[in-house]
Amino acid sequence: MTPKERANRSAAAMWAGDKASAWVGMEITHVDEGKATLTLKIREEHCNGHGIGHGGVTFMLADSAFAFACNSRNVATVAQHNSINFLAPARLGDTLTATAVETTLKGRSGITDVTVTNQSGEKIALFRGASRALGSALFEE
């Protein structure tokens, strides 16, 4: 199995149980070893009292992209800690894209950076996640 095939199978196995990402309206547009891209169109229910995209929704999109990237090797992996910097507001009708790239993997620990942009390519947020592999497989190889 190629790394790309493994990443696709890992994503399919995770997506089957990921009710939260589907419920909020996310879509996976790309996965590969250590990489994932997810999108989300900002709807009314994603907006806060200021009429802009809720930061928690942006964080959730980035966190999901992080999860699909760091689980792409068919090893169950969870977050140790995450942080996000909000750079610009998401607006109603925007399509956000979260692009995750694993930058470091050493033993069971990894670091993945996620850039969230809108449909114009404007950076909305920068997210960094630290991961820890649990060791079990997502699917049987």
Quick check: 32 and 70 in contact, CB under 8 A?
no
Tens digits of residue pLDDT in 12-61: 999 999 999 999 999 999 999 999 999 999 999 999 999 999 999 999 99
Residue 141: inside a domain: no
pLDDT at 15: 97
Packing angle, helices 3-17 and 55-70, rounded to 10: 130
- DSSP letter string, 99-126: EEEEEEEETTEEEEEEEEE-TT--EEEE
Number of domains in the chain: 1
Tens digits of residue pLDDT in 45-55: 999 999 999 99
Q: What is the CATH number of the domain that holds 128?
A: 3.10.129.10
Residue 140: inside a domain: no
Which residues face 100 on adjacent strands? 36, 114
Look up the domain containing 77 and give its range: 3-133
